[in-house]
Amino acid sequence: MLRCEPFPEARKPAYKLWIDFGPEIGTRRSSAQITTHYEPSALVGRQVLAVVNFPPRQVGPFMSEVLTLGVYAEDGSVVLVTPDRRVQDGARFG
């Protein structure tokens, strides 16, 4: 992840994310409700999994271009899905 900022305009607490998918796809933006377990500064440099072939979605004043993947914890908070080893930015998962 290249950048992460608070998203105060979102209906539910969220962050604005800028994610690097390598030279083929480039940088894409995402809105994610991951504020319970993560601070913006701790997310920069972290790799995440995301779906890049969904249509963009307007979230308030922000265009979310990819769906960042996470799973719901028992308390309803979202925990990111991440690779357990460093991989090439933009690598496909299957």
Q: What's the pLDDT tens digit per position in 69-83?
A: 999 999 999 999 999
The structural domain count of the chain equals 1
pLDDT of residue 93: 86
pLDDT tens digits, one per residue of 17-69: 999 999 999 999 999 999 999 999 999 999 999 999 999 999 999 999 999 99
The confidence band for 5, taking pLDDT boundaries of 50, 70 and 90, is very high
pLDDT of residue 94: 79
Range of the domain at 29: 3-80
DSSP secondary structure code for residue 68 in this structure = E
C-alpha distances in Å from residue 19, one per residue of 23, 48, 68, 74, 76: 12, 8, 9, 27, 24
Q: Is residue 88 part of a domain?
A: no
- List the CATH number of the domain containing 21: 2.40.50.140
Interacting residues of 55 by C-beta distance below 8 A, sequence separation 6+? none
Interacting residues of 36 by C-beta distance below 8 A, sequence separation 6+? 13, 75, 77, 78
Give pTM, 2 decimals. 0.94
